[in-house]
């Protein structure tokens, strides 16, 4: 059985004090939940987040990573530094990084491979823009992002990767893909993984949906055959709201 993962992406939000407060409120709300819970916090809050979640079943993710171990890369953070802190997951290829920082599929692929090599689990994000959807090239775009993002990732390595399909037009816009639209792309991704690897592996890989997921639509989306949880931005910033998303993921 593949894992359902409910992950929050805080983006550039919250101070350390706010991080402490969030987890103090969240922990009692999600105690005993068996679904995998992940919070992707800003670099400055990772240590606090790890300390506050110690002994709980909440895992902490970084929102980005440089593929290199060290060197003259001012402002960057390496996989060794993340591992040293106790980080387990790392977001790679989020559409905001692809768009604002011009990250290419090639660079994203370097990060995926480096994360795996260093024992971190990459959450590889990908998805089409509105223009691409309207031009009927969603599958082509998704296939290219996946084939290039996963280049050189072997059968053993892929089992440490989480995929997050996030249509760009649905991120932070309040516009969610309908469950039919999301399931259609997720089924396509599963089929593609069967071609790239094999059926057994394709059935093992968690494919999250992301894009304006909230407590009101989470259950419907997460109940689809090929949707294995969510990557959530805005609705993951408040403990009560994140707990409701966890509740939805737990009830599947």
Catalytic residue numbers read 94, 166
Rounded to a whole number of angstroms, the minimum distance from the CB of residue 111 to ligand PEP is 16
Rounded to a whole number of angstroms, the minimum distance from the CB of residue 10 to ligand PEP is 9
User: What is the rounded distance in angstroms from the CA atom of residue 153 to the CA atom of residue 20?
Assistant: 36
Binding residues for substrate: 9-11, 172, 212, 233-234
Burial 83-100 (b: 16+ CB within 10 A, else e): eeeebbbbbbbbbbbbee
Comparing CB distances to ligand PEP, the nearer of 9 and 48 is 9
Comparing CB distances to ligand PEP, the nearer of 105 and 212 is 212
Q: Under DSSP, is residue 61 helix (H, G, I), strand (E, B) or coil?
A: strand
Binding residues: 9-11, 172, 212, 233-234
Query: For residue 200, what are the contacts with CB-CB under 8 A and spacing of at least 6?
Result: none
User: What is the rounded distance in angstroms from the CA atom of residue 13 to the CA atom of residue 19?
Assistant: 9
Rounded to a whole number of angstroms, the minimum distance from the CB of residue 194 to ligand PEP is 26
Dump the DSSP string for 123-185.
EEEE---HHHHHTT-HHHHHHHHHHHHTTT--HHHHTT-EEEE--GGGTTSS-PPPHHHHHHH
Comparing CB distances to ligand PEP, the nearer of 181 and 194 is 181
Query: For residue 44, what are the contacts with CB-CB under 8 A and spacing of at least 6?
Result: 16
Q: Other C-beta atoms within 10 Å of 144: how many?
A: 13
Tokens at 174, concatenated: 């309040």
Q: What does DSSP say about strands 89-92 and 207-210: parallel, antiparallel, or unpaired? A: unpaired
Rounded to a whole number of angstroms, the minimum distance from the CB of residue 199 to ligand PEP is 28
Rounded to a whole number of angstroms, the minimum distance from the CB of residue 145 to ligand PEP is 15
Binding site for ligand PEP (CB under 6 A): 9, 11, 166, 171-172, 210-213, 231-235
Q: What are phi and psi of 159, to 5 degrees?
A: -70, -10
Comparing CB distances to ligand PEP, the nearer of 67 and 233 is 233
Comparing CB distances to ligand PEP, the nearer of 35 and 218 is 218
């Amino acid at each position: 059985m593949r894992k359902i993962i409910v992950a929050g992406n805080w983006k550039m939000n919250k101070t350390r004090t706010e991080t402490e407060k969030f987890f103090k409120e969240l922990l009692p709300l999600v105690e005993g939940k068996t679904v995998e819970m992940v919070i992707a916090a800003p670099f400055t809050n990772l240590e606090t987040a790890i300390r506050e979640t110690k002994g709980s079943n909440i895992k902490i993710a970084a929102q980005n990573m440089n593929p290199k171990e060290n060197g003259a890369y001012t402002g960057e953070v390496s996989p060794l530094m993340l591992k040293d802190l106790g980080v387990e997951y790392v977001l790679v290829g989020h559409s905001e990084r692809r768009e604002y920082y011009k990250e290419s599929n090639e660079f994203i692929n370097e990060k995926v491979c480096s994360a795996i090599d260093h024992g971190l689990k990459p959450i590889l994000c990908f998805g089409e823009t509105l223009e691409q959807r309207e031009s009927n090239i969603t599958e082509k775009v998704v296939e290219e992002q996946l084939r290039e993002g996963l280049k050189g990732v072997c059968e053993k390595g892929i089992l440490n990767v989480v995929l997050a399909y996030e249509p760009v037009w649905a991120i932070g816009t309040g516009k969610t893909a309908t469950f039919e639209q999301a399931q259609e792309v997720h089924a396509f991704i599963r089929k593609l993984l069967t071609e790239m690897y094999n059926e057994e592996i394709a059935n093992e890989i968690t494919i999250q949906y992301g894009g304006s997921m909230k407590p009101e639509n989470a259950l419907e989306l997460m109940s689809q055959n090929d949707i294995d949880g969510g990557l959530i931005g805005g609705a993951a910033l408040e403990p009560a709201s994140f707990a409701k998303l966890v509740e939805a993921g737990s009830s599947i």
